[in-house]
A and B are shown apart, each in its own frame.
Chain A
């Protein structure tokens, strides 16, 4: 599904990614871990098409297409979804209007008919139930005045509504207490499916207790320095990121 090949990128002429290689297939959950400043969020943002990064080398192929050539909305319409570390507040923009507009844009791209208000409500109610969220979320303005936990859950709700092929969760655990974390993780787990791939970006192993990944990669110095299964995350938890750096130096 996703094939990242020797991806290099910089911000303001400062190299951040120095040749990232990653293959993700449908149904797989990949965790990307790494110390602060290793380029985890940069990678997530580049995949979603955020401005401010210059790709200086390498390619990203998503289902046979050059992902980097597409505008952010085109990527979303093809099934790429980024749950942001810091979901943006949109004062005055109603959450339901926002999600309905987004869903209908995505549906149009899939060749599906637009949902009317009734059809949308039916679908969103069902997804709210799946995530154990209540309808109040819909009446509020997008993320405006939401708590940290509410913002993250609203991201997961959008994911549940848009049904992406590839979901990238950028530090979804940051700023959450254990109860909020469990709620968010339960939501993510409810959305795991054989057709859907997920990339879970996190600094801490903790999230991976709740969202069990199939693969764990460690990003350091702008490259994936180690890949493995879930035991790699546990090893990191025990020894810290310094362990890998020392090993690399050896």
Chain B
């Protein structure tokens, strides 16, 4: 391990040792033990190295050079109006630097049998659900960042939908992070439990009121019991200086359905890890994603889908638009275990490189140990088609506008997967703005 990594590891460990006794539920043995074990594993895991396959294309050096301090309890003032989508009718929970802010949230209209709010408060008031489920889907930390998150479990989002309850309106969760003075690390820990037959739509937006430097190290556990359905839309628009890591662990029981549509637009360094485990037969997961990555940006997507029971479906489709000196990584893996017959698993990643200096490392993997399965995987990396460009120009459309239309067309397939119109149009506009910026940069060169 290099010196920067060793120094960071020590400082994180020391700060964890300092804060652990002050955290919520420190006196609850189940939680204290999880935190202690995670802190202990931190030393053993060390920070990820490029020689590890899952980190081969993603260096954490830049992240470790920063001296992040844990986000404090004093939260900066937030002008919520800057973030609200007027057309979006939703229950809203707002977190600032990983902490729930009741004053900014509007959760009054939640129906009976539905809990949305602060994990911290839940642990203090009624820890039954957290005590049973926290750590179940995530398991033993895979890397130091997960260990750090677990070692400092304090606040974050909890959603609990009781058996058979169906939410009509979506739940919108704003994860705002800001570090006006010292660079902070915010670590929200999120737990979503949909009991049998429950249905919900969750929109998570990760953003910042400013361009500050911070590290958002989030971990989410999602448990979908029999026949539960969750539509999960993630919009990552972190500050341009931010580091963002979101590890998601999704456990799917019999016939449950999970749809995740992810948009990664912001941040200097961002990584999303989606781990899907099918624990009951006939469950289905649809994962769609779009990343737009430019100068000074690295966007990394890791998808790990484990088919260990028969008859489950997973359809993954990720697309990337890279401009400037943008770098992206896509690492998607499907594993079909013995006995997981009738598995239907497809994974595809397509990338459009808009400049010579953009780079993508894409690695779809398929490991099949069962018979009678339908599986495919593929990846493409290409440039705008000159024939398409000519066609648009021959109709009077100038070259920058032609490129913009083609890029939006490329992104459109994923955008259209988002069924929440105000959010979809918001993302479409954001993508268009990023492309316009990229085009201006090209002309300026």
A interface residue numbers (CB < 8 A to B): 48-51, 71-73, 75-77, 81-82, 84, 87-88, 90-93, 97-99, 101-103, 105-106, 109, 141, 158, 162
- The CA-CA distance from A26 to B398 in the complex, in Å, is 27
Select from chain B the residue with minimum beta-carbon distance to A77. B396
Q: Are A90 and B393 in contact (CB under 8 A)?
A: no
Can you show 9 pairs from A to B with CB atoms below 8 A apart?
Answer: A71-B398, A73-B393, A76-B394, A76-B396, A90-B405, A91-B409, A91-B410, A91-B413, A92-B410
B401 at the interface (CB under 8 A from A): yes
B interface residue numbers (CB < 8 A to A): 385-388, 390-399, 401-402, 405-406, 408-413
Q: Are A105 and B413 in contact (CB under 8 A)?
A: no
Task: Determine the main DSSP class of A at the interface with B.
Answer: helix
Q: What's the nearest-Cβ distance from chain A to residue B378, in Å?
A: 16
- The CA-CA distance from A1 to B401 in the complex, in Å, is 29
Q: Are B406 and A48 in contact (CB under 8 A)?
A: no
- The CA-CA distance from A93 to B387 in the complex, in Å, is 15
Q: Are A50 and B395 in contact (CB under 8 A)?
A: no
Q: What's the nearest-Cβ distance from chain A to residue B120, in Å?
A: 43
Could you say which residues of chain A place their CB within 8 Å of the CB of B388? 88, 90
Q: Total A-B pairs in contact (CB under 8 Å)?
A: 84
Q: Are B409 and A106 in contact (CB under 8 A)?
A: no
Q: What's the nearest-Cβ distance from chain B to residue A79, in Å?
A: 10
Residue among B386, B398, B406, B413 making CB contact with A90, cutoff 8 Å: B406
Q: Are A76 and B405 in contact (CB under 8 A)?
A: no
Could you say which residues of chain A place their CB within 8 Å of the CB of B401? 101, 105
- The CA-CA distance from A181 to B411 in the complex, in Å, is 35
Residue among B387, B392, B394, B410 making CB contact with A82, cutoff 8 Å: B394
Could you say which residues of chain A place their CB within 8 Å of the CB of B394? 48-50, 72-73, 75-76, 81-82, 84
Select from chain A the residue with minimum beta-carbon distance to B395. A102
Residue among A90, A92, A162 making CB contact with B396, cutoff 8 Å: A162
Q: Are A50 and B390 in contact (CB under 8 A)?
A: yes
Q: What's the nearest-Cβ distance from chain B to residue A158, in Å?
A: 6
Q: Which 10 pairs from chain A and chain B are nearest by CB?
A: A92-B409, A92-B412, A76-B396, A102-B395, A93-B409, A72-B393, A88-B391, A105-B396, A106-B396, A73-B393
Could you say which residues of chain B place their CB within 8 Å of the CB of A92? 408-413
Could you say which residues of chain A place their CB within 8 Å of the CB of B408? 92-93
Excluding A73-B393, A105-B396, 16 further A-B contacts by CB distance (< 8 Å) are A48-B394, A49-B390, A49-B394, A50-B390, A73-B397, A73-B402, A77-B396, A90-B388, A90-B405, A91-B409, A91-B413, A98-B392, A101-B397, A102-B392, A105-B398, A158-B395
Q: What's the nearest-Cβ distance from chain A to residue B38, in Å?
A: 44
Q: Are B391 and A87 in contact (CB under 8 A)?
A: yes
- The CA-CA distance from A92 to B405 in the complex, in Å, is 9
Could you say which residues of chain A place their CB within 8 Å of the CB of B386? 51
Residue among A82, A99, A141 making CB contact with B409, cutoff 8 Å: A141
Select from chain A the residue with minimum beta-carbon distance to B410. A92
